[in-house]
Amino acid sequence: MACNVRKIFLFFGIVLCATIHDYLALDLTTPVRCVIWSCVTLILFLSVKEFSFPKKFIYPAFAGYLLFTSFSMLWATNVSESLYWSLRVFMLFVYFCLVVSIFKDIPKKTMALIGMCLGVYGVFGTVEWMTDPAGGTTAMEVTGLMSNRNLWCAAQLLFLPYCIFVYKQWKCVSITGTLAIVFNLSVLFAKSSFLGLLVSVGVVSLFCRKLRWVVLAGVIPVVVVCLFRMENIRETDSFRQRLEIWPQTIKMTLDSPWGVGAGNWRIDIQRYANDIDIDEAFTRIFYQRPHNDFLWVLSEIGILGFLCYGSLFALSFYYSVKSRNYIVIMGLTAYIVLASFTFPRERAFHSMMFVLYLAFSVVHYERAKVKLPTLITVLVSFILLFCVVNFSCRLKQDHNMRIIRATNDINVIIDVTDKYIPFCPLDLTSMPVMWYRGFAFAGLGNFREAKKHFINAQKTNPYHMSVLGSVAECYVKEGDYQNAIVCLQQMQDIKESAEVAEQLKVVREMYENEQKNIKTTQSR
């Protein structure tokens, strides 16, 4: 595959990961985009004969991040989740190496063109929402090409640096893309993205004098936007939830300095439910990430893994400042702000943009060309192929979960869960897939079979309140009050509840009565 063909194919992958949706899945974007990204990475890897490696510390830092992510499987509660994240980080690392090998300079024009197209598409959606005669909708419903407003604004923000700094080469695209993206960010007003816009422009203006007049000229519009959006700024419920979750994430890290295992934050955070002052936490709201990528990485792969992850930002920023690479300075700053309040790490497209910024920070440097040994090529190809398989299995499981969530037919649930895929044992709310199968058998009155699946679900996520409640119910049905008490007590230890306390009291009375009857029978 010729170099230009590789570039076109790589850009094609970026466009696909930015646009494609799978309406058969619960999560419309992430699973299918991970599959596409892994396929693109595998094909590009097989097409590259020689790799270019600048002698920079960012490579061992990335390798360390991968190493600690993979090692965390050894002590993870759920190994399947750790495996998924290990494969994702491996794919990111290979993709990073490929981008550095394929490009010798930042493809500003192409990236700006893609950004302009996204921005213009976003303007149509934003204007349609603003002029909707029916009304009654909020900006949160403007999701564009992502799954929600915040991610849609974040995606546009990550393209903004290319649009701004392509001005000399392509004024039309630069002006159109910049105005379109800034318009969308100002009107939709996703707070993290708007803050990222302000901070990134402010930081890059410290290094680029030509941008300082833009910052000064932008002060008045920013003040106007903030005045009109004062009610949104004061809305603090989501931020209050973050302030409840972040301290518990730090506590989790102190309890497990080596991390709880990649992908296991959403499982282990439930152990700290009693310390989270949110009534619906882990009863109706199940948190999947702490809305802070840095705390997320720290808690899952430990302090050493976090140092490697943080080094990626520090080294990339250092290289960019040293080479006056304003695009990467602004893009990385925006990403850091987003990662401090949201979860771009979870999303395929945003992670892809992050890796591109890392790669573009070193493409200017001299590099040594290396032809990989056949054994390494085969091994990497095999792991990338396994990435495709694993991500495809998760996509298929997401299809199954959409069917399960959409039906009340017990037979359909049993039939779908019969096709259980061990690579992805949890759904989007951390509920084990086996719980749904147990629920279906319980609905048929087959509590023996239901208990078997509920116990398997408990092994997958031992702290989920609904799972523990279902296991306790099966024990009560069988008359095994002692084990039922253990489950109910565990529920109460995780999150105190008057309802669970009452159930615990009743079951204890039943157990005491049973023991009295046994003693009475024995005395006779």
Q: Is residue 396 part of a domain?
A: no
Q: Is residue 398 part of a domain?
A: no
Same domain, 132 and 62: yes
Domain boundary among 382, 417, 442: 382
Same domain, 505 and 359: no
Same domain, 25 and 166: yes
Per-residue pLDDT of 496-524, as tens digits, reads 888 888 888 888 888 888 788 777 776 65
Same domain, 369 and 507: no
Same domain, 319 and 444: no
* Number of domains, the chain: 2
Beta carbons of 202 and 215 less than 8 angstroms apart: yes
Question: Three-class SS of residue 100?
Answer: helix
Question: Three-class SS of residue 492?
Answer: helix
* Nearest CA among 208, 194, 206 for reference residue 160: 194
The whole-chain average pLDDT of the chain stands at 89
* Nearest CA among 154, 164, 152 for reference residue 193: 154
Distances (CA, A) of 174 to 94, 153, 328: 31, 18, 16
Q: Is residue 105 part of a domain?
A: yes
Beta carbons of 36 and 286 less than 8 angstroms apart: no
Q: Is residue 199 part of a domain?
A: yes
Dist CA 11 CA 467 (whole Å): 44
Per-residue pLDDT of 229-277, as tens digits, reads 555 555 567 778 888 899 999 999 999 999 999 999 999 998 888 788 7
Q: Is residue 388 part of a domain?
A: no
Distances (CA, A) of 269 to 135, 230, 255, 300, 471: 39, 33, 12, 11, 21
Q: Is residue 363 part of a domain?
A: yes
Beta carbons of 95 and 87 less than 8 angstroms apart: no
Q: Give the angle 439-443-447 at the CA atoms, nearest 5°.
A: 75
Domain boundary among 382, 413, 442: 382
* Nearest CA among 387, 471, 384, 467 for reference residue 425: 467
Q: Give the angle 7-9-10 at the CA atoms, nearest 5°.
A: 65
Dist CA 379 CA 375 (whole Å): 6
Same domain, 363 and 488: no
Dist CA 462 CA 490 (whole Å): 10
**Residue 105: how many other CB atoms lie within 10 Å:** 8
Q: In which domain, by residue range, is 466 found?
A: 431-523
* Nearest CA among 255, 284, 256, 286 for reference residue 270: 286
Give the pLDDT of residue 224.
61
Residue with the bigger pLDDT between 203 and 216: it is 203
Tokens 């510390």 sit on residue: 57
Give the pLDDT of residue 117.
96
Same domain, 445 and 349: no
Q: Is residue 206 part of a domain?
A: yes
Same domain, 458 and 378: no
The reply to whether the predicted model has a pTM over 0.85 is yes
Average of per-residue pLDDT across 7-28: 93
Q: Establish how many alpha carbons lie within 13 A of residue 28's alpha carbon, considering only the half-sphere containing its beta carbon.
A: 12
The CATH number of residue 477's host domain is: 1.25.40.10
Give bridge partners of residue 368 from the DSSP assignment: 53
Q: Is residue 201 part of a domain?
A: yes
Dist CA 214 CA 427 (whole Å): 46
Dist CA 248 CA 260 (whole Å): 13
Per-residue pLDDT of 342-354, as tens digits, reads 999 999 999 999 9
Say whether pLDDT at 176 is over 90.
yes
Domain boundary among 382, 416, 442: 382
| Percent of the chain predicted with pLDDT > 70 | 93
Instruction: List the structure tokens of 180.
Output: 């379109």
Same domain, 240 and 130: yes
What DSSP string runs through 186-217? HHH--HHHHHHHHHHHHHHHHH-GGGHHHHHH
Dist CA 288 CA 373 (whole Å): 40
Same domain, 367 and 448: no
Same domain, 317 and 440: no
Same domain, 318 and 467: no
DSSP class of 347? S
